[in-house]
Amino acid sequence: MSSTPTIGVLALQGDVREHRAALEASGARAVAVRRPEELAAVDGLVLPGGESTTIDKLLRIFELYEPLRARIADGLPVYGSCAGMILLADRVLGGTSDQQTLGGLHATVRRNAFGRQVDSFEADLPFAQLDGGPVHAVFIRAPWIEDVGDGVDVLSRIPDDYPEPVAGKIVAVRQGSLLATSFHPEISGDRRVHEHFVQIVKES
Ligand code: GLN
């Protein structure tokens, strides 16, 4: 692959522009993906934050659901943030009755997990595989990961000094070339998560 990978951002709903800017700042060429032909042309893909139930429906309307599942099964590197993490997980708790996920990430995700008290908040989190200290994480009606299966590395958790039941919850994982975070690095100005994903795409 050339030294500048082409990374798509699924552009059906959500904070597409912020991810494109973060990817461009991290050494990738970022393109919007709305059609199967556009999906076929990317080296990696970001599933942005937004509303997972809406993106789930739009994936079908835009006839991207099956092609995207097929590319994930084929090893496409994908980074899912917040709603994108929900879409990437094999199982979702707290979804709507008809909500489905693309799957691929062997994990169970709980949607809108943080509840009213802390449904949007910011935190500095230790993050495995990244140099330079804690990552500044912005959570917006975020999911957490309830459990992980084989081959999934936990990269970040909510610190233990947070109140129960939030303390210790898993908020970032990696399974091979799949990366997922509960939070939104694309709006914090900390580029390290995007840089890490660009590196994963380059190495895949
Ligand atoms: N609560 C949203 C959902 O269920 C996710 C929120 C976000 O992406 N910031 O999809």
pTM over 0.85: yes
The count of residues in the chain is 204
DSSP state of 134: P
The 10s digit of each residue's pLDDT in 55-93 is 999 999 999 999 999 999 999 999 999 999 999 999 999
Every domain of the chain and the residues it spans? 6-203
**176: pLDDT confidence band, cut at 50, 70 and 90?**
very high
> What pLDDT score does 178 carry?
98
Pocket-testing residue among 18, 47, 52, 81, ligand 1, by greatest number of atoms within 8 A of Cβ: 52
Indicate which atom in ligand 1 lies nearest the CA of residue 50: 8
* Structure-token pair, residue 55: 């993106």
**13: pLDDT confidence band, cut at 50, 70 and 90?**
very high
* Pairwise CA distance, residues 203 & 157, whole Å: 26
Q: Are 39 and 71 in contact (CB under 8 A)?
A: yes
Per CATH, which fold does 6-203 belong to?
Answer: Rossmann fold (3.40.50)
Ligand 1 centroid to residue 116 C-alpha, Å: 14
Quote the crossing angle between the two packed helices 65-73 and 52-61, to the nearest 10°.
100
Q: Which residue has the tokens 């975070």?
A: 181
Indicate which atom in ligand 1 lies nearest the CA of residue 15: 8
Give the binding-site residues of ligand 1, using a 6 Å CB cut-off.
49-52, 82-83, 86, 111-112, 140-141
**Residue 117 in this model has a pLDDT that exceeds 70:** no
- What is the share, in percent, of the chain residues with pLDDT greater than 90? 92
